[in-house]
Every structure is written in C-alpha cells, then in structure tokens.
C-alpha cells in the first residue's frame, strides 16, 4: 500500500478511525473488506474510489453501523457504531445515491426536520436548525414545496439539508451525484464544496473528476485498501489507475496527451495553458 504522510496517531482525536476492519457477507466466500486501516482528521476531505465490488458500499455501511465488522474497529469521533449507534448517527450523516429513497415527508421543511424530530430536539431550536440547513443548501423559499415536485439535484440538496440539520461532524457521501443530470450534479457539488471548511467529508464516487481538490484519495479494490494518496499522485500514476479500473478524467487526460502535467484540472486552466504555449511558440518562430 502506498501511504503519503497521513500523520501520526493521536488516540481519539480523529473524526473517523478504522483499524483492521474486516467483513464478509454471510454465505459469500470472498471477504468484502479485509484489514482496512485509515483515519480522517477533522476537516479533511477524503475521496474513495475503486472498481464495482471493491468494498466502497460495505465501508459506508460499517461506518454508520448498518453492518458490524467481523474483526477490527471503527470509531466515529471516538464512538463505536456497533455499541453506540445513536451517538454515531448524530456525529456521522450519510448522503446516499438515490435521493428518492430518503425523502419521507410531505413538505421540504418537514423532511429536513425529520432527523431532528427523532432526536427529540426542542421545537424552537429545531425551527432554527432547519432554517439554517435549508439556507446552507440554497433552498430558501422551498420550505413548503412538496419534495416530489423538485428536480433530482434539488431533492438531493433537501436530503443533504436533512443531514446538516443534525449537525454531524462527519459527512459520508455515497455516490451522491450518480443519479443526477449534468446540471443537478454541478449544483450538488457546488454546495458540497461550500461545506468543505466546516465538515469532515468522506466522498465515495466513480467520478474521479469530483475529487481533484480532495486532500487524499483512498483506493479500495477487492476489499483491500490499495492506496491512500494525494489526487496529484493518483492522477500521475498510470499503474495504480489501470490496476484499479480508473480512467483519468477528460481534462487531465487531454493535458497529458498534449504533454502538460496532470495538475491541470478545469477546462479553463487547460485552455489557458494551451494559449500560453501557442503564443510562446509563435514568438519563438
């Protein structure tokens, strides 16, 4: 495994810590996860990628206590989901792939309040936290809208607001954009980017381009953590990419084909680099 300086261990100071996490589904011969060890420091934005069947979804379910490990341990802000599920649910919220499955209430504001109601938060405080969460995802004015009338991106933002209202320290995003169209995807990613400074985020995705600004990227393949590296390192290592069924996103792939470094991420950056080179080429001729 490649490890690029994830710092020294400090007992319970991690937002999430997984140690030797191993899990097999009953009736299956292969282990879904074996010996996974990593930590998330408070405020980090960490991506998780890897092939279908690599163990990404299993990891998410172990983090929020839907599954219990066969061996090893998860700690979320120092709490073990296996023994303190309610505490962990306050500290860690999961945004799932399909927003349709998570929306339960007749109006947006009720849906956002749902998690808080279950925690028994007093009414006045609840109202305030719901309003704040709705603002955080840019849905002011949507409070009395019915969730089924919203676009996919808006639904996913309602689901995100429901998580934020609970004020968890950690957000786990499980392929949050894979059911959305291009516009919905962009709008959800923009709101996630805004949350970055305030939350610890673990973002599971098949879209490497969503992780170009992550602090680190974990690569899971056949149940093993095969890399824990910076995005720059991952993008510039064709072997890790190939072995883990990853493909360079279009901008870095164009950049590489043109002989630029893999640090160009956005279309605008690549266009600028091409213009600069074209102009210097003209001058030298």
Distance CA 177, CA 173 (A): 9
In the complex with another protein, the residue whose CB is nearer, 69 or 153, is 153
Distance CA 162, CA 110 (A): 9
Q: Using CB under 8 A as the criterion, which residues of the chain lie in contact with another protein when the complex forms? A: 28, 50-54, 97, 151-153, 175, 178-185, 206, 208, 245-247, 249-251, 253-254, 257-259, 267-268, 270-271, 274-275, 277-278, 281-282
In the complex with another protein, the residue whose CB is nearer, 120 or 148, is 148
CB of 285 to another protein, least distance (A): 8
CB of 280 to another protein, least distance (A): 9
CB of 97 to another protein, least distance (A): 7
**Runs of H (alpha helix) within 5-151:** 56-63, 85-91, 108-119, 123-136
50 Cβ contact partners less than 8 Å away, ≥ 6 residues apart: 56, 219, 220, 221, 226, 244, 245, 246
CB of 230 to another protein, least distance (A): 19
CB of 69 to another protein, least distance (A): 21
| Residues 70 and 108 sit within 8 Å (Cβ to Cβ) | no
In the complex with another protein, the residue whose CB is nearer, 53 or 85, is 53
First to last CA, the chain: 48
Distance CA 80, CA 59 (A): 14
In the complex with another protein, the residue whose CB is nearer, 110 or 243, is 243
CB of 249 to another protein, least distance (A): 8
In the complex with another protein, the residue whose CB is nearer, 6 or 263, is 263
In the complex with another protein, the residue whose CB is nearer, 128 or 181, is 181
- Give one word for 68, left, alpha or beta, with left for phi > 0 and alpha for psi -120 to 50: beta
Q: How many CA atoms lie within 13 A of 84 on its CB side?
A: 13
In degrees, rounded to 5, the angle at the alpha carbon of residue 43 between the alpha carbons of residues 189 and 91 is: 90
């Amino acid at each position: 495994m490649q490890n690029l300086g994830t710092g020294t261990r400090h007992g319970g100071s991690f937002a999430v810590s997984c140690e030797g996490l191993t899990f097999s589904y009953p009736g299956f011969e292969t282990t879904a996860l074996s010996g996974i060890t990593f930590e998330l420091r408070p405020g980090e934005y960490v991506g998780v990628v890897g092939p279908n069947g690599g163990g990404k979804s299993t990891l998410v379910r172990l983090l929020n206590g839907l599954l219990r490990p066969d061996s090893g341990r998860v700690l979320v802000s120092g709490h073990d989901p296996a023994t303190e599920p309610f505490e962990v649910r306050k500290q860690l919220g999961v945004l799932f792939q399909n927003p349709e499955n998570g929306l339960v209430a007749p109006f947006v504001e009720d849906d956002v309040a749902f998690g808080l109601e279950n925690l028994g938060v007093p009414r006045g405080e609840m109202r305030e936290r719901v309003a704040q969460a709705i603002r955080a995802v840019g849905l002011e004015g949507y409070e009395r809208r019915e969730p089924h009338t919203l676009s996919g991106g808006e639904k996913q933002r309602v689901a995100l607001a429901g998580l934020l209202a609970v004020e968890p320290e950690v957000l786990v995003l499980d392929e949050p954009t894979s059911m959305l169209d291009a516009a919905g995807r962009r709008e959800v990613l923009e709101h996630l980017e805004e949350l970055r400074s305030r939350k610890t985020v673990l973002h599971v995705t098949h879209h490497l381009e969503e992780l170009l600004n992550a602090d680190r990227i974990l690569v899971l393949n056949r149940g093993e953590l095969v890399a824990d590296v910076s995005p720059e390192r991952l993008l510039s290592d064709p072997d890790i990419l190939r072995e883990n069924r990853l493909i360079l996103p279009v901008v870095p792939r164009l950049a590489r084909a043109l002989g630029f470094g893999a640090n160009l991420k956005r279309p605008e950056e690549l266009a600028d680099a091409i213009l600069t080179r074209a102009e210097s080429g003209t001058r030298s001729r």
